[in-house]
Structure 1
Amino acid sequence: MATIYDIAKKTGYSITTVSKVLNNYTDVSDKARKKVMDAVTEMGYFPSSSARMLTTKKSWTIGVVFVESAGIGMEHPFFSSVIENFKKNVERFGYDLLFASNQIGNEAKTYLEHFRYRGVDGIVVVCSLLNDPEVEKLMKADIPSVVIDLDSKGSSAVYSDNEYGSELAVDYLVSLGHRSIAHISGDQGLFVGVQRLKGFKDAIQKLNLSISDEYIVDGGFFTYEGGQRAMEALLRNRVRPTAVYAAGDLMALGAIDTIRKHGLSVPEDFSIVGFDDIQMIRYTAPALTTIRQNTDLIGKTAANLLLDQINENEKQSLSVKIPVTLIERDSCRKI
């Protein structure tokens, strides 16, 4: 098995120069970098993790934790897409991801204790829960960290412009002639649920629309089943809305299922708008009009914020709000 000494001997460069190339230092010429990397490929060299740690004082590992009420975690299309994009951006710089458990051996540990035990260089938290004590500990710790899908004063944060997204949805439905617009909201213990409901109410007020309290129904934790139950409640209204804005795509799909079970259709009887733009909704019938979250940019921005902290060895508290866009498909019609 090739060693760093073999690479140095083959290329004619010192061990120090070879080490700098392998650890992405910038003070190396392009010529030296190319020659060393060509030798690495040719000789099949792989640095051991312990050697890298001794050389760079880093573990080259980033801890990942999901904190959300539905227990879906990586199975949720939005979360999986964000983490996949985050992963692509940190892998380019040699980092691996460690998905957290609160159990080490047979002993229960907090996420913070787990990450300290593993010696991670930084932490990314995907979290929609407001005031979660585990997240608060992670954010206040001295380990570089970034939280996705939640604003945080104790850490860097990346989240979509949820309020504006709701305004886009309402404005679009009004432009089609709708005035009786209902909202299937997310749970109000969740950051995105609060933000999207606030955006809906602000848009309704701005447009001087009169909306019955019965037109706002809690869909819970952004699940398909939550959307089904919320739509059942909306259908019990004596005067039904002509349009429904759901705070998540899965809830929107659940609402469409309930509409069909009652012998009604979309968009003929109800116009529906979702939020997220998860991949599956492009292939539903009708294809769902929705508010797109830019998961590529969310993942990339979160990665850059965390890597900056790791490289500078300094905890930072920066909040970045990512723009959203309306994606018009087939689930809405003019009236």
Structure 2
Amino acid sequence: MVTIYDIAKIAGCSPTTVSKVFNDYSDVSPKTRAKILETAEQLGYLPNAHARSLTMKRSWTIGVLFNEPSGAGILHPYFAGVIEGFKKVSTSKGYDLMFVTKDIGGKKSGYVEHCKIRGVDGVVVILPDYGDPYFQELLDSDIPCVLLDQESEQKSTICSDNIAGAMQAVEYLHRLGHRRIGHIGGGHSFAGEKRLQGYLRAMENLNLPVEPQYVIQGSYDYTMESGQAAMEELLLTDELPTAVFAAGDNLAVGAMMTLKKRGLRVPDDISLIGFDDIEMVKFLTPALTTVRQDTYALGSKAADMLIYTIEGGSGVQTAMLPVEIVIRESCRSL
């Protein structure tokens, strides 16, 4: 087994200096630090995790709290991209990930109790559930947290620019000549409400009337079934919209299924645009035009923000990442 003494001998320095590098002391020159890390990598040295935790008073473990009501779990397309980016950054900086639940040891407890028993250094929260009292307890605690798709004065937050993305979608449809533009919303979720705000703001800016019967709320878990039901409701209007902006790609896919079932064609009869750019939509017929959010970048940035706090950074941080329209085949010019 390779030891710090082996590394010190080859790198030409003392074992104390090697130990300082692995424990992130600042009083080692960049040149010496680089030499030690290069030697350690060549020798295949792995610092003892227990020793590191005792020395630095950290467990080197980050909790992942994921509330996903649709039942897709880790297969949810939003989660998959976020967690991949989060994992990449976290593991590169020496942290392991652990899922956090309210149950531990076969009995009900809470997120805070679970985090303290497991000794996690911080928690990333994906799709927060403010209706859960155990979640509020976590917000009130001193455990470092970063929340995705949420606003908070207590903890750091990160999201995509949902309002701007929705406005881009409506403005794109307007450029194609559409004036009767409907919206299938994402319920009372954070992203759903922001995307509705963007839709309404763009319609106002473009001097387009917002017909109440053209705005149908889907479910906050963005299921295809919800999109199907919303489109069924839209089809009951006296004069159909020429285009529909759906707050999520799954909603758009459901809407497309209903249109096909009713003998209507996309985009010939109704143009359709989604939001998220999940993997499957490029393979639809027609392929879905959508607003792309970079879930990998969301996860990467969230990891940077959380580790900054864990390692002594102060203050509540907020970040908002840009989005872009991906033009495919589901919208046409009038």
TM-score (normalizing by structure 2):
0.93
Read off the aligned partner of 2:7 and give its amino acid letter. Answer: I
> Does 1:66 pair with 2:53?
no
For 1:287-306, list aligned pairs within 5 A: 287-306=287-306
Counterpart-to-counterpart distance in 2, 1:303 and 1:277: 22
Shift of 1:10: 4.3
CA distance in 2, matches of 1:178, 1:103: 51
**1:331 match:** 330
Give the CA deviation at 1:25. Answer: 4.2
Change in Cα spacing, 1:16 to 1:197, as seen in structure 2 (3 Å) is: same
Deviations 1:153-211 (A, max 9, x none): 110000111112111111111111111111110111x1111111122122222222223
Name the counterpart of 2:138.
138
Which amino acid counterpart does residue 285 of structure 1 have in structure 2?
T
Distance 1:71 1:152 in 2: 26
Separation of aligned partners in 1, 2:234 and 2:251: 13
Partner residue, 1:251: 251
Note if 1:320 corresponds to 2:301: no
Give the secondary structure class of the aligned counterpart of 2:311. helix
CA contact (8 A) 2:128 2:147 kept: no
Between stretches 33-42 and 274-283, larger displacement belongs to 33-42
The letter of the residue matching 1:330 is E
Q: Is the 8 A contact 1:129 1:191 kept in 2?
A: no
Residue equivalent to 1:233: 233
Whether the aligned pair in 2 keeps the contact of 1:65 and 1:100 (CA below 8 Å) is yes
AA of the residue aligned to 2:316: S
Distance 1:194 1:202 in 2: 12
Q: Secondary structure at the match of 2:101?
A: coil
Residues 85-123 of structure 1: per-residue CA shift (max 9 Å, x gap)? 111112221111111122211221211111111111111
SS of the aligned residue for 2:6 comes to: helix
- Cα distance in 2, alignment partners of residues 274 and 58 from structure 1: 42
Distance in 2 between the 1:185 and 1:266 partners?
19
Q: How does 1:1-335 map onto structure 2 within 5 Å?
A: 1-130=1-130, 132-188=132-188, 190-220=189-219, 221-312=221-312, 314=314, 316-335=315-334
User: Where in structure 2 are there 5+ consecutive unaligned residues?
Assistant: none
The whole-number CA distance in structure 1 between the counterparts of 2:142 and 2:130 is 21
Work out the percentage of aligned pairs sharing the same amino acid.
47
User: Equivalents in 2 of 1:167, 1:132: separation in Å?
Assistant: 32
Query: Which is further off, 206-215 or 131-140?
Result: 131-140
**Mean Cα displacement is larger for which, 131-140 or 111-120?**
131-140
Cα distance in structure 1, aligned partners of 2:207 and 2:126? 36
Q: CA deviation at 1:38?
A: 4.2
2: distance between equivalents of 1:152 and 1:38?
A: 41
Unaligned 5+ runs, structure 1: none
Q: How many residues align?
A: 333
C-alpha distance in structure 1 between counterparts of 2:236 and 2:263, whole Å: 14
SS in 2 for 1:273: strand
Q: Within 2, Cα distance between the matches of 1:35 and 1:205?
A: 60
Q: 1:328 to 1:245 in 2, by over 3 A?
A: same
The CA distance in 2 between the partners of 1:12 and 1:6, in whole Å, is: 10
SS at match of 2:70: coil
CA distance in 2 between partners of 1:130 and 1:194 (Å) = 15
Query: Could you tell me whether the CA contact under 8 Å between 1:128 and 1:192 is conserved in 2?
Result: no
Q: Tell me if the contact between 1:244 and 1:271 (Cα under 8 Å) persists in the aligned partners.
A: yes
What is the TM-score normalised by the length of structure 1?
Answer: 0.93
